Chains A and B, each alone.
Chain A
């Protein structure tokens, strides 16, 4: 550990030592680490879902050689091989997204409910650093973890499949060609980082804001006002702009050439950086997210234990 450097200052002489700062990166690493210690569901839930999937997949290996033999030479072969690999990617994506939403709703609420905010605030960590570290969990770390877990799962599945293909007429080379995992990982990585990270950022930031604000039931505060406002809009103007905005944010992604990104992994092509930068929806979303986070920082500064 790097505590050694702290022990060198003698007790009384400490005042005269120029107070160097804790490096921002080291502090940030600890803040993120703290979040993961507290919210173990962030990784336990996806791991449990992946484990369960793997069990099902292992069982399916009993029937898999038969399905492969039947599909060899036909166009269905591609689908038979790729389907479980797509399913596991979508499954992990879905679970990590849900876990990220739950995390955000709890992040600035539970520390007030259990009064531990008084302890956290007694340490030399700013509200800005705290909130940004919390926001980085769903925006950066959960998508990266989802990617790593999916890759690990797909490699495990590849090993399992390789063990059962002898005698089916499918060679390892055919299998690899059909799967085109590297392309798939490229698509998945881009999708997770831009879609689940950046495109969803305003959703996470909104939930963090509610989490910093609500005195109780943050889930209801996060959802009911949206439903109420949407309903009022429908009654008053017979329009559904709010609903359309929300649906577009949840179902869509950074649009390329005006068309939202599809959900079919196979058909997806990774965005280039320029395509991404030119998507106005992404930038608007990030601006909104920044505003929500600024609100959450302000609220955390003012709010005490509930």
Chain B
């Protein structure tokens, strides 16, 4: 059974359609990156998955309906909304006591070991910690919960690059073990792309692109074209084109790699470039208007 399965997921706020018939299937052990511009519906989708918002359509997470069974679901799922959600008044020791008291699968010693590697003191209040330390604390709590699914919504928003890198390193090295599933929504595409196993672009409440990283490597090529070959290359119908230092870089989909090798230097496109290419083909978006 899939870890997350959604069919025709739809959510409307007033006149704004946040999710418009999203279909989604995440198998156990995958790390899915949910990427989209602001207001694309990422947060709404994640909120539906962890039972924070009602929805139309069907959604099944770890065999449960999140909206009606949020408290049961959260025994096996964790959620980090963003860096500012830990209550500012609470002490680190109180937080440990509380979570240990209400969470069945919380390993307090594990959280303490993780905190020991940081400069966070048990007597400190969250309000006294820096933004980066609050994220470390939240991550320590989540990593000590033996969960099957971890949902992250912009978990490193507003952090400096050192904390961001540390966050994803910890997640991969200390947490991810192949049995867990992670869904992460973020803008920081370049930092997460080496972490992901699957990729999903979302825009205006629609899934506009979805593939695994293996597929990405097999199907998409970025070619830095020699000026002489430009015309021949354009004839192969690139899905996107951009200029870097006077060189033309073309993005192709679904052809044989060797076909491009005579045209110039071929490599796998970065997720960010692919994102721009996909988004600029969306109706109503100017080329290059995104990010």
List the interface of chain A (C-beta within 8 A of B). 1-3, 6-7, 9, 11-12, 14-15, 19-22, 26-27, 29-31, 33-34, 37-38, 111, 114-116, 118-127, 129, 302, 304
Contacts and interface: CB of A to CB of B under 8 A. Distances in A.
Given A37-B91, A304-B52, 10 more contacts: A22-B104, A30-B97, A33-B97, A37-B89, A114-B87, A116-B85, A116-B86, A118-B52, A119-B138, A122-B80
14 contacts: A6-B100, A7-B109, A11-B146, A27-B101, A33-B98, A37-B89, A114-B88, A120-B87, A121-B51, A121-B79, A122-B85, A123-B103, A125-B71, A126-B71
Interface string B91-112: 1001001111111111111100
Nearest to B71: A126
A302 B54 contact: yes
A11 B73 CA distance: 18
Nearest to B146: A14
A9 B146 contact: yes
Contacts, number: 115
- B53, B73, B98 interface centre (most CB from chain A within 10 Å): B98
Contacts of A26: 101
A22 B102 contact: yes
Given A1-B100, A12-B179, A15-B148, A118 B81 contact: yes
B164 interface: no
A1 B98 CA distance: 11
Interface residues of B, number: 44
A118 B85 contact: yes
Contacts of A111: 87
Given A119-B85, A304-B53, A19 B90 contact: no
10 tightest CB-CB pairs across the interface, nearest first?
Answer: A30-B101, A116-B87, A122-B79, A126-B71, A3-B108, A118-B81, A124-B74, A124-B75, A118-B85, A119-B85
Contact of A30 (B52, B102, B107): B102
B84 interface: yes
Interface in B48-95: 50-54, 70-75, 78-81, 84-91, 94
Contacts of A11: 146, 177
Contacts of A121: 50-52, 70, 74, 79
Given A9-B146, A12-B177, A118-B52, A124 B87 contact: no
A22 B99 CA distance: 11
A123 B99 contact: yes
- B52, B54, B109, B179 interface centre (most CB from chain A within 10 Å): B52
Contacts of A124: 71-75, 102-104
A147 B88 CA distance: 31
B94 A37 contact: yes
B105 to A, nearest CB: 6
A119 B105 contact: no
Interface in B113-166: 138, 146, 148
Contacts of A3: 100, 106-109
A43 to B, nearest CB: 15
Given A6-B106, A6-B107, A22-B104, A34 B146 contact: no
B270 to A, nearest CB: 31
B111 to A, nearest CB: 10
Contacts of B148: 15
A114 B71 CA distance: 21
Contacts of A123: 74, 99, 102-103
A3 B99 CA distance: 10
Contacts of A120: 87
B148 to A, nearest CB: 7
A122 B74 contact: yes
Contacts of B51: 121
A111 to B, nearest CB: 7
B180 to A, nearest CB: 9
A115 B43 CA distance: 14
Contacts of B91: 37
Nearest to B109: A7
A120 B106 CA distance: 15
Nearest to A304: B52
B125 to A, nearest CB: 10
Contact of B104 (A19, A127, A304): A19
A181 B146 CA distance: 54
Nearest to A14: B146
